[in-house]
Amino acid sequence: MKLTSKYEMIQHILTEMKQPAYRFQQIADAIFKQRIGEYERMTILPKRIRQELIKNLGEHVLNLTPVIQKTSNQVSKVLFAIEGGERIEAVQLSYERGWKSYCISSQCGCGYGCSFCATGTIGLKRNLTADEITDQLLYFHLNGQTLDSVSFMGMGEALANPNIFDTLKILTDPRIFGLGHRRITVSTIGILPGIDRLAKEFPQVNLTFSLHSPFDDQRSELMPINNRFPLNDVLNKLDQHIRDTGRKVYIAYILLRGENDSNEHAEAIAALLKHRGPWEHLYHVNLIPYNSTDVTPESFHRSDKDRVQKFVSILKSKGIKITVRTQFGTEIDAACGQLYGHNKQI
């Protein structure tokens, strides 16, 4: 039997030791209610169970090692060491009124090579395990932070890593993290089989599609995945996703000055998203200001404020629902792959 996470491993150990069912809940409560991060300190358990857990899983519940934490006003970014000497990162965003949102990594590096993306310059090192993904959140939880919402917008393409589905099971399991499905957002560049599986297994989880250009040829240049899963095929799949789940789909669009922020681009986005059918009001565009870094090409820059406003007004005039995302954390490189870029020698 293949055990896919430490939580399954704990259950397996308890079964082997012929323990009653409530033991697992006691351990889960120790971690998720009392924020206890060492098996030895779970004194509600008989000593021999604690010893068995330590023997199989190590002393600490958390298996990631935080290497650097950078914090500014509303953003806290952590670089973790993972097995094999690599690094991954997670970001906590704190909104007014105390809402805490997390942006976590699903892969170490990424193999898709989007030209504006810092993670793309690293290449794919490997898929993260379900434990490595969920431990990014466990770290914040054990440090007393609340977990309100989570998005897979850190390093990597979430739907290219099959472990994402075990991860979602753990995050939504009421005995473990207990996050509501609607508080989780999976972001994708348009991996069609992954979108299908997500709709089937986690229809209530939010889906964001990274568009970044409404024109096929330009999108293929910016995002080579477009050659494999072209824009129109992805949009048809998203239509189906909305019809099957009744949920909104978010369209992420990073504005790159002089590249994809012209009036023609705004009009073409509107044309893509209109006249799709009675469900088209469930598309919502999120415009994202670009964060340049040391490792992304110098040719990409953030769009000027006036341009962004014009872009927004064109989309609005065509009846497109749209939000301009606040840009948090530019001073600490809070965008995917950026902290890694600065610290890979550490």
- Among 276, 215, 219, 216, smallest CA distance to 249 is for 276
| Selected range binding ligand SF4 among 113-121, 167-175, 271-279, 289-297, rule: CB under 6 A | 113-121
With binding defined as CB under 6 A, does residue 333 bind ligand SF4?
no
If the CB atoms of residues 55 and 344 are measured against ligand SF4, the closer one turns out to be 344
> Measured between alpha carbons, how far is 223 from 64 in angstroms, rounded to an integer?
31
Query: What is the separation of C-alpha 320 from the centre of its chain, rounded to a whole number of angstroms?
Result: 25
With binding defined as CB under 6 A, does residue 253 bind ligand SF4?
no
Phi, psi dihedral angles at 275 (to 5 degrees): 55, 35
Amino acid at position 78, single letter: V
With binding defined as CB under 6 A, does residue 336 bind ligand SF4?
yes
CB of 118 to ligand SF4, least distance (A): 7
If the CB atoms of residues 175 and 301 are measured against ligand SF4, the closer one turns out to be 301
223: phi > 0 → left, psi -120 to 50 → alpha, else beta; which? beta
CB of 96 to ligand SF4, least distance (A): 28
> Measured between alpha carbons, how far is 64 from 62 in angstroms, rounded to an integer?
6
If the CB atoms of residues 120 and 214 are measured against ligand SF4, the closer one turns out to be 120
If the CB atoms of residues 42 and 114 are measured against ligand SF4, the closer one turns out to be 114
With binding defined as CB under 6 A, does residue 329 bind ligand SF4?
no
Q: Which of the residues 146 through 175 are near ligand SF4 (CB under 6 A)?
A: 156-157
**96, 104 Cβ separation under 8 angstroms:** no
**Of the residues 89, 132, 157, 259, which is catalytic?**
89
With binding defined as CB under 6 A, does residue 189 bind ligand SF4?
yes
| Selected range binding ligand SF4 among 107-115, 174-182, 244-252, 295-303, rule: CB under 6 A | 107-115
If the CB atoms of residues 14 and 189 are measured against ligand SF4, the closer one turns out to be 189
With binding defined as CB under 6 A, does residue 133 bind ligand SF4?
no
Amino acid at position 87, single letter: R
- Among 282, 274, 284, smallest CA distance to 324 is for 284
If the CB atoms of residues 39 and 253 are measured against ligand SF4, the closer one turns out to be 253
Token pair belonging to 177: 């993290």
Token pair belonging to 219: 């999108």
**117, 290 Cβ separation under 8 angstroms:** no
- Among 78, 86, 118, 83, smallest CA distance to 102 is for 78
> Measured between alpha carbons, how far is 222 from 124 in angstroms, rounded to an integer?
18
> Measured between alpha carbons, how far is 267 from 272 in angstroms, rounded to an integer?
9
State yes or no: is 89 an active-site residue. yes
State yes or no: is 108 an active-site residue. no
With binding defined as CB under 6 A, does residue 110 bind ligand SF4?
yes
With binding defined as CB under 6 A, does residue 119 bind ligand SF4?
yes
With binding defined as CB under 6 A, does residue 117 bind ligand SF4?
yes
Residues with catalytic roles: 89, 336
Residues at the interface with ligand SF4 (CB under 6 A): 110, 112-114, 117, 119-120, 156-157, 189, 336
